[in-house]
Chain A
C-alpha cells in the first residue's frame, strides 16, 4: 500500500485540473450564454419596462463582453461567491454548505448499503455459477437497473409507511417533537451520536433507511455484476490454483487472494456508481422531501432562480472530479502494477 509515490499522486492531481477548468467553463456557458438573456427571465413582471430590464442587465453584468463576464465569474468563484439565491435571499455558498451534509449523508448511507449487499452477492454468485444464487443475482441486477429511483422510492413509501406503518412519514430528516442536537457536522447521525441523544438518533436513522435503500437498489446491480464477473475471472487464475494446491483454507483463498485481485475493476465501478448516485440524489430527495442540495436546486429551477442551479451543478461536478481522483488513487493502492512510476 505504501507504494503510491508522491509523484504519482501529484501527476493525477495535475491531470484533474484541466477537467475541472473545463467543468467551470462549461457551467458558465450553460448558465450565462444559452438562455438568450437571463434578465428576461426575471423581468416577467408587469412593472418591468425596457429601462428596468436594462438596469437589471447592468446589475447582472450582462452588458459586458463574454470574456469580461467569464473573468468576473472566475473572480467570484475564487472568492467563493456563487451569487445570491432569489428565493431564499441568502448567498448560494451558504445555502449549499447548509444542505450539502444532508445529501452526502444520504449518498454515503446508500452506497454502504449497496456494497453490503452487492459484494457478498457477487462473491457467492461467482463461487457457484449457474446455481440458484447466481440466477437470483442476475434477476436482482436486471430488475435493479430497470427500476427508476423515483418509482422504487414511492413503492417503498407505500409498503413501509402506508401498509406496514414501520417507517416514519417521509417529510423530514429528524423527529420534530424530540430535542434537537447542536449542529457540528450537519450529518445528523453523527451529531446526535456525539450529543448522546439516543432517541433522536433512532428517529434520524429510521428516516434515513428508506431513501438510502432507494439509492442502494439501483447501485446494487452494477456492483454485484462487476464483482461476480471479476471474481469469476480471478478464481480461474493460476495464483488461486497455486494457493489451493498449497493447502490454504478455502476462505483464505477466496477472501485474501481472489477477492483482492477481483476488487480492482470493482473499485472503478464504485466511482461510476457513486457519481451516478450524486445525480440520482435529485430524484430521491424530491420523493422523500429530503432537504439536500438536490431538492434545493430543484426548487430554484422551478422558480427560474438560476444562481443556485449553477452553484449546485458546479459543486456536484467538483465533488465528482475529486471523487474520480480518489478512485484513481485507491486503484493504485489496490493494484500494485499501477503507481510505481
Chain B
C-alpha cells in the first residue's frame, strides 16, 4: 500500500467519522466471533427451568429464555456461526462469480450468452424463496445454507465482474500487455482481475450484510441450524412466541445483534466505496 493510498484513506476516514465508527464496531464484532465462547459469562447450553424467562438482571444481562439459558452468552457465542455462514457464502460466490464473470466478459461468444441466460433465470426467482427451495431440496444442514446463499448471490457477482472486465478489455494497458506478447490467460490473471478487484471487494462488503440477513432468515423459518445451537435467527424464532406475553428480551437481543452486525457491514461497505470509488456515492 503506497503512501498516497494511506493518505487518501486517512482523509476519507477523517471527513467521514461514521466510517471510523463502523471500523470500530466491526472490530468488536470480530472479537466476539473469535473469543465469544471464552468471553461468555455463562454456559450457553446450560438449561435451568427454575430460572426460565427471567428479565435482564445483573447475573443475566439479557435475561433468560424459556429453558432458563442465558441470552447474553448465547447471543455472544452465536456471533461466530452467523459470521461464518455469511463469510463462507459470500467468499464462495465472490470467487466463482469473479472467475465466471471475467472469463465470459473477456471471451464473449456462445458461453457468454448461455451464462447470461442462466443468470436471467436465477434472477427471475425471488431470491429468498429460491434459497428456501434449495435448502429444502439439498437437505436441511448448515453447509447447504451456505451453498444456497452463495448461489443466490452468484448472479450479481457474475454480472458485475463481466461488466467490469468487458469495459476494460480494450483499455490501453490491456492492449499494451497484448502487444508485449502476453497470452489471454496472463492478461486475465495479471492485468484484468487485479484491476477489477477493488470494485469487487466493495461489492462484497456491501453484500455481506445482506448475506447475514438471508442466512438468519433461513434459520428463523427453521432451516439449517438446529436447536440448541446458539444462532441469532433461531433464537429470534424461539423468542417470537414469548413477545406477545411481554417476554421481549428472548427475541429482541439476538435480533439487535443481527441489526448491529448488518448495520456495521453496510456502513463499512459505504465507507470502502468512498475510498475506492468516490463517484458512486449516493
Contacts and interface: CB of A to CB of B under 8 A. Distances in A.
Interface of A: 18-20, 22-23, 26-27, 30-31, 34-35, 142-143, 145-151, 154-155, 157-158, 161-162, 169-170, 225, 228-229, 275-276, 278-280, 282-283, 286-287, 297-298, 301-302, 306, 309-310, 312-313, 316-317, 320-321, 324
A309 B136 contact: yes
B134 A30 contact: yes
Interface string B46-87: 000000000000000000000000000000000000000000
Task: Give the 4 A-B CB pairs with smallest separation, nearest first.
Answer: A22-B121, A279-B126, A151-B255, A279-B128
Interface string B216-228: 1100111100000
B137 A282 contact: no
A31 B137 contact: yes
A72 B127 CA distance: 27
A157 to B, nearest CB: 6
B125 interface: yes
Contact of B259 (A22, A31, A147): A147
Contacts of A310: 133
Contacts of A282: 128-129, 132, 221
Contacts of B223: 301
B120 interface: yes
A150 B214 CA distance: 11
Interface string B116-128: 0110111011111
Contact of B244 (A142, A148, A169, A297): A169
State the main secondary structure of chain B at its contact with A: helix
A317 B126 contact: yes
Contacts of B259: 143, 146-148, 151
B138 interface: yes
B251 interface: yes
A19 B120 contact: yes
A255 to B, nearest CB: 22
Interface in B102-144: 117-118, 120-122, 124-130, 132-134, 136-139
A286 B221 contact: yes
A81 to B, nearest CB: 19
A283 B220 contact: yes
A30 B137 contact: yes
Contact of A154 (B128, B246, B251): B251
A146 B209 contact: yes
A317 B127 CA distance: 10
B72 to A, nearest CB: 17
Chain B CB count within 10 A is highest, among A145, A154, A162, A278, for A154
A276 B223 CA distance: 20
Given A151-B259, A154-B243, A312 B124 contact: no
Contacts of B99: none
Chain A CB count within 10 A is highest, among B138, B233, B252, B259, for B259
B202 interface: no
A145 B266 contact: yes
Interface of B: 117-118, 120-122, 124-130, 132-134, 136-139, 209-210, 213, 216-217, 220-223, 233, 236-237, 239-240, 243-246, 248, 251-252, 255-256, 258-259, 262-263, 266-267, 270, 282
Contacts of B267: 142
30 contacts: A19-B124, A20-B124, A23-B125, A26-B125, A27-B133, A34-B138, A35-B137, A35-B138, A35-B139, A142-B270, A145-B210, A147-B262, A148-B217, A149-B217, A151-B255, A154-B240, A154-B252, A157-B243, A162-B245, A229-B282, A275-B126, A278-B126, A279-B128, A282-B128, A282-B132, A283-B217, A302-B222, A309-B133, A320-B124, A320-B125
B214 to A, nearest CB: 9
Nearest to B223: A301
Chain B CB count within 10 A is highest, among A158, A287, A306, for A158
A200 to B, nearest CB: 23
Given A154-B240, A158-B243, A161-B244, A317 B128 contact: no
Given A19-B124, A148-B259, A278-B129, 20 more contacts: A26-B125, A30-B133, A145-B209, A146-B266, A147-B262, A148-B216, A148-B220, A150-B237, A151-B236, A151-B255, A154-B252, A154-B255, A158-B248, A161-B244, A279-B129, A280-B128, A283-B220, A298-B221, A313-B133, A320-B125
Given A150-B220, A151-B255, A279 B127 contact: yes
Contacts of A31: 133, 137
Contact of A23 (B124, B210, B220): B124
A18 B117 contact: yes
Nearest to A306: B136
A162 B217 CA distance: 24
Contacts of B236: 148, 150-151, 154
B139 to A, nearest CB: 8
B221 A283 contact: yes
A165 to B, nearest CB: 12
A151 B232 CA distance: 11
B282 A225 contact: yes
A324 B124 CA distance: 9
B282 A276 contact: no
A35 B237 CA distance: 26
